[in-house]
Amino acid sequence: MTIEGRDLSIGYPDRLVGSGLNVRLAEGEVLALLGPNGGGKTTLLKTLLGLLVPRRGEVRVMDKPLHELPIAERARMIGYVPQVHHGTFAFTVESVVLMGRTAHGSLFAAPSADDREISMAMLDRFGIASLAQRAYTEISGGERQLVLLARALAQEPRFIVLDEPTASLDFGNQGKVMNEIRGLAEAGLGVLFTTHDPNHAMRAATRVYLLRDGTRLAEGKVTDVLTVENLEALYRANVQTLRDERSGGVAFLPG
């Protein structure tokens, strides 16, 4: 099972953001999308999700055109965690996560015992079960990000798309999310996430896709693509590396 964007031109009615883009995500792999601000990462994600219509080309899921799939079926296939979300209504945290279960039933049906059990299991998975009865509008930005991750997993999708999932998280929760991404892939899900940190891609991804000014600069295995030369071209900044003598692991630093 795959999500595939073929010869995509992406953008908005008044602005073309990128063109000639081919992206493929299979079950069981993690694809990290890297690039500077304004480079087209979020626009590409929204196009792959069907939130934006391609200016050219098409998106296919299981080799079917995405636009032909009913909304409920898309929700059962793909979970999405946006970059920023500001709650308007004071739903409880548990209620927000339960919204992910509507992919498997009616929007207006009362949650079943199974729905509640799955939702609480997802909250517990991220260590935030104690927030279940708190108002979503009264918790921190980092806590909201974890709640949205729990909601996406409560959908029980085959693919998870994450737009900068660690942006508002503290150091410890960043590590938790990176571990979770690897665990999802090991369980057979396909994961696509954007990040500004090549070290997160090095840690969690199997493949990387470098995007600048709406153009693909490179794509492939993490160890092949994440080089000083490619990262300097991507960010137009100097990049240094640190290497662990014992493990051989590499970390990238700006400057």
CATH number at residue 245: 3.40.50.300
Confidence of residue 1 (pLDDT cuts 50, 70, 90): confident
pLDDT digit string (tens) for 16-75?
A: 999 999 999 999 999 999 999 999 999 999 999 999 999 999 999 988 999 999 988 898
**Which stretches does DSSP call E strand in 196-248?**
207-212, 215-221, 239-243
Query: How many domains are contained in the chain?
Result: 1
Confidence of residue 84 (pLDDT cuts 50, 70, 90): low
Closest alpha carbon to 176 in 197, 154, 145: 145
pTM of the model: 0.90
Q: Residue 39 belongs to what domain range?
A: 2-254
Cα 44 from Cα 39, distance rounded (Å):
10
Over residues 88-94, mean pLDDT: 87
pLDDT digit string (tens) for 104-160?
A: 876 567 788 999 999 999 999 989 999 999 999 999 888 988 999 999 999 999 999
Cα 155 from Cα 153, distance rounded (Å):
5
Over residues 237-253, mean pLDDT: 87
Other beta carbons less than 10 A from residue 56's beta carbon: 14
